[in-house]
Amino acid sequence: MLDNVVDLSRLQFAVTALYHFLFVPLTIGMVWMLVIMEAVWVMTGKQVYQDMTRFWGKLFGINFALGVTTGITMEFQFGTNWAYYSHYVGDIFGAPLAIEGLMAFFLESTMIGLFFFGWNRLSRKQHLLVTILMAIGTNLSALWILIANGWMQNPVGAEFSYQTMRMEMTDFAALLFNPDAQAKFVHTVSAGYVTGAMFVLSISSWYLLRGRNVEFARKSFRIAAAFGFASICSVIVLGDESGYTVGEAQQTKLAAIEAMWHTEPAPASFNLLAWPNETRMENDWQVSIPWVMGLIGTRSVSKQIPGIHEIMAQNRLRIQSGMLAVQALEAVRRNGKDSAALKVLEAHKQDLGFGLLLKKYTTDVATATPQMIDAAARDTIPRVAPMFWSFRLMVGMGMAMLLLFGWSFWASLKGDFQHRPRLLKLALCCLPLPWLSCELGWVVAEYGRQPWTIYGVLPTRLSVSTLSVESLYGSLAGFVGFYTVLLVVEMMLMMRFARQGPGSLGTGRYDNETAH
């Protein structure tokens, strides 16, 4: 049983975010597949491509509805459950969210209406334009959300103001071109493209295995295989890039992912497998490949990557410096003209967040004991085992998908894939992989950011709203209840329409026309 507001708020956020992220990647990827299919229709005039756009579009719509439903929750939750966070960083974090609405979500949501209802009212080219605008809107949405999220990972272009008691934006361009945000964006959207491709590939394979709607399924399979192969390659390349930026901005996360307890002489070796032991703060055993980690993390053979013990020692110093910042801030909040305190605050401002970590142990940070400082320094390291394994599972699934899409693409070039039941069965079995790896990626990125909501700036435990535990249990139960019912309904509809296939369009050209 969780008995505090912080853990319950985190649990609620994790549940709702992971749930939301079941629908988002499919939306992001499917929308481009629809663009491709419809573009082929406009160019060749072959009816089957329009049917493909409409049928896959129907499944896309079923998924999109839940993406929207669960997306509203995310916006609400910052205010309802993370009120102090909203105040503390709203000046920077709110802007990309609002811009997302204005620039992307309006476009996507207006166009999706025309996508479904405009077939008989728009010319072919106009309708294609609508689909393209919908795709651009969807992807721009992801861009702005990840700019916001990237800032939580690497808070650039902002400064703390003691008068307003919050972070304030100083440089919008820095926020926009934050390397962490850019790396995350490309990695995340290409993971979405893989999800969309896998969805179409798997279901098409199923039709082929059953010998139904063969022409329709063959054409869908080919598009999915090509699109998926390109996408999985970029996920892996860009994921590596993302790992590199994490290394730059968040050494702790990188060290936890690699279970690197100690700094090694450069270039560091890579722990392929290990058994991290949290209490001893060592690995019980490990299988390492020399040099590789140094190359991934620093792109050099000479730069060192700090290990967990060394990072903790650094953080301990920052916490001590942060103590002074917190005390000075309190003095300044009492008396704005206290110039001595202001000087101290200026000098130690960059460590204010670290000082705030002590609030977990004492309300009066000035009285923190060395034991408390040690404990707070230990807190700056997220638990290693979940990070280590989530990351490896994610990468492993990525590699599996690379093989699958490589094989599918090769077979679709040769054109004999419908006679390869093993490939088709494998494609069907791999259906859950993109979702699992996306969720694990989220865990690595966000769990790995703990104990911070804003890395190095605002501790998670100070970010919550003043609410009661009962309220949180109640709302959590509500979300779980609603979401379970919605998921059951969505899966049922998805399976129903996937099973019926393009016959559900009622065109008279496919199997199962009447099953509807």
Partner 1 sequence: MLDYASLKVIWWLLVGVLLVGFAIMDGHDMGVGTLLPFVGKDDTERRVVINTVGPHWDGNQVWFITGGGAIFAAWPLVYATAFSGFYWAMLLVLWALFFRPVGFDYRSKIDNPTWRSVWDWGLFVGGTVPPLIFGVAFGNLLQGVPFHFDNNLLSTYDGSFWGLLNPFALLCGVVSSAMISFHGGVYLAHRTEGDIQQRAQAWVRVTGLIWLLGFTLAGIWLARGIDGYVISSAVQPDALPDPLAKTVSRAAGAWLGNYQRWPLTMLLPASGYLGCVAAMLLLRSGRSFAAFWASALGLAGVIGTAGVSMFPFIMPSSTHPASSLTVWDSVSSQLTLGLMLVVTLLFMPLIILYTRWAYRVMAGKVTAAYVRENNHTAY
Q: Tell me which residues in 496-515 interact with partner 1 (CB under 8 A).
A: 496-497, 504-506
Map the footprint of partner 1 across residues 1-60, applying CB under 8 A: 54
Q: Which is nearer to partner 1, 104 or 224 (CB)?
A: 104
Structure tokens, 295: 């190359």
DSSP string, 153-217: HS--SEEEETTTTEEEES-HHHHHT-HHHHHHHHHHHHHHHHHHHHHHHHHHHHHHHHT-SHHHH
Part in contact with partner 1 (CB under 8 A); list of ranges 197-205, 246-254, 447-455, 459-467: 459-467
> At residue 467, what are phi and psi to the nearest 5 degrees?
-130, 170
Q: Which is nearer to partner 1, 75 or 374 (CB)?
A: 75
CA distance 69 to 65: 6
State yes or no: residue 177 binds partner 1 (CB under 8 A).
no
> Shortest approach of partner 1 to residue 388 CB, angstroms?
35
Residue with tokens 């090769």: 410
CA dihedral 394, 395, 400, 403 (to 10 degrees): 140
User: How distant, in Å, are the alpha carbons of 18, 255, 284, 385, 392 from that of 388?
Assistant: 19, 9, 14, 5, 6
Structure tokens, 274: 């290990």
Part in contact with partner 1 (CB under 8 A); list of ranges 178-186, 248-256, 361-369, 491-499: 491-499
Map the footprint of partner 1 across residues 372-391, applying CB under 8 A: none
State yes or no: residue 489 binds partner 1 (CB under 8 A).
yes
> Shortest approach of partner 1 to residue 342 CB, angstroms?
15
Count of residues engaged in binding partner 1, rule: CB under 8 A: 80
Identified binder of partner 1 from the candidate list 6, 17, 103, 480, rule CB under 8 A: 103
Instruction: For residue 447, give the H/E element and its range.
Output: none
Q: Which is nearer to partner 1, 358 or 430 (CB)?
A: 358
State yes or no: residue 106 binds partner 1 (CB under 8 A).
yes
CA distance 115 to 95: 29
State yes or no: residue 480 binds partner 1 (CB under 8 A).
no
State yes or no: residue 242 binds partner 1 (CB under 8 A).
no
Q: Which is nearer to partner 1, 117 or 275 (CB)?
A: 117
Q: Which is nearer to partner 1, 85 or 227 (CB)?
A: 85
Part in contact with partner 1 (CB under 8 A); list of ranges 32-40, 214-222, 272-280, 490-498: 490-498
> At residue 365, what are phi and psi to the nearest 5 degrees?
-60, -25
Q: Which is nearer to partner 1, 97 or 393 (CB)?
A: 97
Residue 237 falls in which region: left (phi positive, over 0), alpha (psi -120 to 50) or beta: alpha
> Shortest approach of partner 1 to residue 494 CB, angstroms?
11
Part in contact with partner 1 (CB under 8 A); list of ranges 45-53, 115-123, 226-234, 238-246: 115-123
CA distance 19 to 13: 10
> Shortest approach of partner 1 to residue 151 CB, angstroms?
13
> Shortest approach of partner 1 to residue 266 CB, angstroms?
41
Burial grade of 426 (CB within 10 A; 0-12, 13-18, 19 or more): middle
Residue 142's contacts (CB-CB under 8 Å, 6 or more residues apart) are: 24, 28, 185, 188, 189, 192
CA distance 440 to 435: 9
Q: Are 356 and 462 in contact (CB under 8 A)?
A: yes
Q: Which is nearer to partner 1, 94 or 386 (CB)?
A: 94
Structure tokens, 128: 């294609």
Identified binder of partner 1 from the candidate list 75, 215, 278, 416, rule CB under 8 A: 75
Map the footprint of partner 1 across residues 181-210, applying CB under 8 A: none
Q: Which is nearer to partner 1, 113 or 421 (CB)?
A: 113
For residue 267, say if its preceding peptide bond is cis, omega within 30 degrees of 0.
yes
State yes or no: residue 107 binds partner 1 (CB under 8 A).
yes
Structure tokens, 425: 């069965």
Q: Which is nearer to partner 1, 399 or 491 (CB)?
A: 491
Map the footprint of partner 1 across residues 297-356, applying CB under 8 A: 333-334
State yes or no: residue 286 binds partner 1 (CB under 8 A).
no
Residue 207's beta-bridge partner residues?
Answer: none
CA distance 334 to 485: 51
> At residue 106, what are phi and psi to the nearest 5 degrees?
-60, -45
Map the footprint of partner 1 across residues 117-176, applying CB under 8 A: 117-122, 161, 163-166, 168-170, 172
> Shortest approach of partner 1 to residue 39 CB, angstroms?
20
Identified binder of partner 1 from the candidate list 13, 252, 465, 498, rule CB under 8 A: 465
Map the footprint of partner 1 across residues 76-95, applying CB under 8 A: 76, 78-81, 83-84, 86-87, 89-95
Part in contact with partner 1 (CB under 8 A); list of ranges 199-207, 215-223, 371-379, 487-495: 487-495
Part in contact with partner 1 (CB under 8 A); list of ranges 235-243, 258-266, 386-394, 485-493: 485-493
Structure tokens, 189: 């959207």
Q: Are 207 and 214 in contact (CB under 8 A)?
A: yes
State yes or no: residue 73 binds partner 1 (CB under 8 A).
yes
Residue 161's beta-bridge partner residues?
Answer: 166
> Shortest approach of partner 1 to residue 226 CB, angstroms?
28
Q: Which is nearer to partner 1, 301 or 488 (CB)?
A: 488
Q: Which is nearer to partner 1, 272 or 485 (CB)?
A: 485
> At residue 115, what are phi and psi to the nearest 5 degrees?
-60, -45
CA distance 37 to 219: 9
Q: Are 257 and 388 in contact (CB under 8 A)?
A: yes
